[in-house]
Amino acid sequence: MSSDALKAASYIDASRLLESIETLACFGARDDGGVDRPALSPIDIDARRFLVNRAVELGCTVRTDACANLFFRRPSVEDLPPVMTGSHVDTQPTGGKLDGCYGVLAAFECVAALNDAGIRTRRPLEVVAWTNEEGTRFQPGAMGSSAFVDPALIERYGQAKDSDGISLDSALAAHREAFPSLETRVAETAAHAFIELHIEQGPLLELANVPLGVVKGIQGVRWYAVRCRGVAAHAGTTPMHARHDAMTLAVCIRAEIAAFAYQLGGNDTRITFGRWSVLPNSINTIASEVTFTIDFRHPNPSVLHSFDTQLANCLARHAVTSEALFIHPPVDFAPAVIQRVADACDALDAPSLSITSGAFHDAMYLAKHCPSAMLFVPSRGGISHNPLEATDDDHLVLGARALAHCLVHLCNEAP
């Protein structure tokens, strides 16, 4: 088996992989070299059409599901539960070319390498493009993978609306119209394993000067929207003592939240107040309403729970309302699949680092569905969710080789 695994790894074609990354990046290309491809937007649908065509060229069957996930399955020798791999192709508004996309395209490259090497596997290999992982157009994030694992979620998700008031349901309808003949992947027995290749999106691998990350888990995440109310009034005539300025209240609450987050979480604290909306958002009118989002991450479940409690107390003190947009505990991946990742790094003589993911990924939900793990490659300067997001070509190729090695072993594991 290891000869087939090494053979598949050797058939990874660097220029074919790198070219596919550049091609996909054209869908939603920004002038600054980044990508802006909102989930299920017309741009995303065009990108999906590129993936569907590529998958058919590679001899895969293509199916979808109620949440517009795309499943590209390479046939196998035996009719056994598949090994799944993949990631997402929706991006942040000022995203890069690699976040999510690399994991899908490297998986396609593994299919191409298996084809070129004439390798057939016991189990089917199923590449997946999960819908709306970023959660930037529709909240929460990782909608496609979570709805795949728990189909009951799709009904609530369908009501989610983007900033233009378009519901996920109508975006899904547009997707079905764009791909009218795609077969629906019906629920079947759980996959045998899931493995996601992704850029680290942080600095640790680069700081350690190591080309591959063996990902043992993902830290927990909390997303909230906090709404502060005030009274709109004239900026020139209203004395300071007579104001009810929603922005003053929001800034004060933000400071309190940041303080107790750091006090709870220490150096592992990651807190971001990334999205603000101000009403009426006029230079010369005191704000009547300010809504801001909180993104809090931490590897320790009790810190996450304490944050929830302290946030509720803080907001109650100020008589401010909030909405929980996304709550997920830390995830530990499956030791057996982690071992496959570590073995692949060793087989390719590549130094590797055991790492916990700071970013969330679709694998956090797949870990509930089947034994799962992830493999990272370094992000230059630790930069991501930024048009400057980049990874050295040789790292991108090495990651794909390691993924191929893992997939061959997993696809040939006995029932």
| Residues engaged in binding Mn ion (CB under 5 A) | 99-100
Q: How many CB atoms lie within 10 A of CB 316?
A: 11
Residues contacting residue 160 through CB under 8 Å, at least 6 positions apart: 138, 139, 143, 167, 168
Stated length of the chain? 415
How many residues make contact with ligand HGY (CB under 6 A)? 5
For residue 162, the partner it binds in Mn ion, ligand HGY, none, with Cβ less than 5 to 8 A by kind, is none
359 binds ligand HGY (CB under 6 A): yes
Q: Which of residues 168-187 bind ligand HGY (CB under 6 A)?
A: none
Residue with tokens 């991501």: 384
Q: Which of residues 280-339 bind ligand HGY (CB under 6 A)?
A: none
Q: Which of 360, 402, 409, 410 binds ligand HGY (CB under 6 A)?
A: 360
Q: How many CB atoms lie within 10 A of CB 92?
A: 21
For residue 141, the partner it binds in Mn ion, ligand HGY, none, with Cβ less than 5 to 8 A by kind, is ligand HGY
Pairing of strands 83-88, 193-199: parallel
371 binds ligand HGY (CB under 6 A): no
Q: Which of residues 114-153 bind ligand HGY (CB under 6 A)?
A: 133-134, 141
CB 173 within 8 A of CB 158: no
Residue 92 Cβ, how far from Mn ion at the closest point, in Å? 6
Q: Which of 199, 146, 176 is nearest to 40 (CA)?
A: 176
Residue 361 Cβ, how far from ligand HGY at the closest point, in Å? 7
Q: Which of residues 203-262 bind ligand HGY (CB under 6 A)?
A: none
Written as six digits, the tokens of 241 are: 């003592």
Q: Which is nearer to ligand HGY, 11 or 130 (CB)?
A: 130
Residue 197 Cβ, how far from Mn ion at the closest point, in Å? 11
For residue 360, the partner it binds in Mn ion, ligand HGY, none, with Cβ less than 5 to 8 A by kind, is ligand HGY
CA–CA gap between residue 353 and residue 211 (Å, rounded): 8
* CA distances in angstroms from 329 to 51, 193, 345, 360, listed in the order given: 32, 21, 28, 10
65 binds ligand HGY (CB under 6 A): no
Residue 100 Cβ, how far from Mn ion at the closest point, in Å? 4
Residue 215 Cβ, how far from Mn ion at the closest point, in Å? 12
Q: Which of 296, 249, 290 is nearest to 271 (CA)?
A: 296
Q: Which is nearer to ligand HGY, 135 or 158 (CB)?
A: 135
CA–CA gap between residue 295 and residue 274 (Å, rounded): 8
* CA distances in angstroms from 305 to 149, 152, 298, 310, 346, listed in the order given: 24, 25, 10, 9, 38
Q: Which is nearer to Mn ion, 99 or 126 (CB)?
A: 99
Residue 135 Cβ, how far from Mn ion at the closest point, in Å? 9
Binding site for ligand HGY (CB under 6 A): 133-134, 141, 359-360
